[in-house]
Amino acid sequence: MSIASHFFALIDYGRRSGAADDLSAAFVRDPALHRIPEQEANEDEIGKAIPEPVIRQLDAHLHLLGQGRARGQRTLAPDDLQLMYRTLYTLLRDTGRRPLEVCSLPRDCLETRNDQISLIWNNHKARRHRRRLPITTSTAQAIRTWQERREQLHTRLPPTGADYLFPALTHLATRPYLHTTYLSETLRHWVDSISHLHGEGTDTQGNPLPFDRSLIYAYAFRHSYAQRHADAGTPLDVLRELMDHKSVSTTQRYYTVSLKRKRDAVTKLAAHVVDNHGHPSPSSETAYELRSVAVPYGGCTEPSNVKAAGGSCPIRFQCAGCGFYRPDPSYLPAIEQHINELRADRETAQAMDAAEFVITAFTAQITAYEQVTDRMQRRLAALPAAERQEIEEASTILRKARAANAHTLLPLTVVSRTDPA
Q: Are 158 and 152 in contact (CB under 8 A)?
A: no
Number of residues lying near ligand SF4 (CB under 6 A): 12
* Residue 313 or 334 having the CB closest to ligand SF4: 313
Q: What's the CA gap between 373 and 333, in Å, rounded?
A: 10
Q: What's the CA gap between 412 and 421, in Å, rounded?
A: 28
Half-sphere exposure of 234 (CA within 13 A, CB side): 20
Q: Is 142 in the site for ligand SF4 (CB under 6 A)?
A: no
What minimum distance in Å lies between the beta carbon of 294 and ligand SF4?
10
* Residue 300 or 332 having the CB closest to ligand SF4: 300
What minimum distance in Å lies between the beta carbon of 302 and ligand SF4?
4
Residues numbered 238-297 forming contacts with ligand SF4, rule: CB under 6 A:
295
**Residue 397: what are its φ and ψ, rounded to 5°?**
-65, -45
Q: What's the CA gap between 287 and 273, in Å, rounded?
A: 11
Per-residue interface string for the shown chain with ligand SF4, residues 60-79, x marking contact by CB under 6 A: --------------------
What minimum distance in Å lies between the beta carbon of 364 and ligand SF4?
14
* Residue 139 or 283 having the CB closest to ligand SF4: 283
* Residue 55 or 361 having the CB closest to ligand SF4: 361
Per-residue interface string for the shown chain with ligand SF4, residues 299-338, x marking contact by CB under 6 A: -x-x--x-------x-x-xxx--x-xx-------------
143 CB-near residues (< 8 Å, 6+ apart): 87, 90, 91, 109, 110, 119, 165
What minimum distance in Å lies between the beta carbon of 375 and ligand SF4?
17
**Residue 258: what are its φ and ψ, rounded to 5°?**
-65, 150
* Residue whose C-alpha is closest to residue 191's, from 45, 3, 50, 46: 50
Specify the DSSP class assigned to residue 255.
G
* Residue 113 or 307 having the CB closest to ligand SF4: 307
What minimum distance in Å lies between the beta carbon of 306 and ligand SF4?
8
Q: What's the CA gap between 212 and 227, in Å, rounded?
A: 19
What minimum distance in Å lies between the beta carbon of 372 and ligand SF4?
12
Phi-psi region of 68 (alpha: psi -120 to 50; beta: other; left: phi over 0): left
* Residue 85 or 324 having the CB closest to ligand SF4: 324
* Residue 28 or 412 having the CB closest to ligand SF4: 412
* Residue whose C-alpha is closest to residue 191's, from 285, 313, 59: 59
Q: What is the contact surface with ligand SF4 in residues (CB under 6 A)? A: 295, 300, 302, 305, 313, 315, 317-319, 322, 324-325
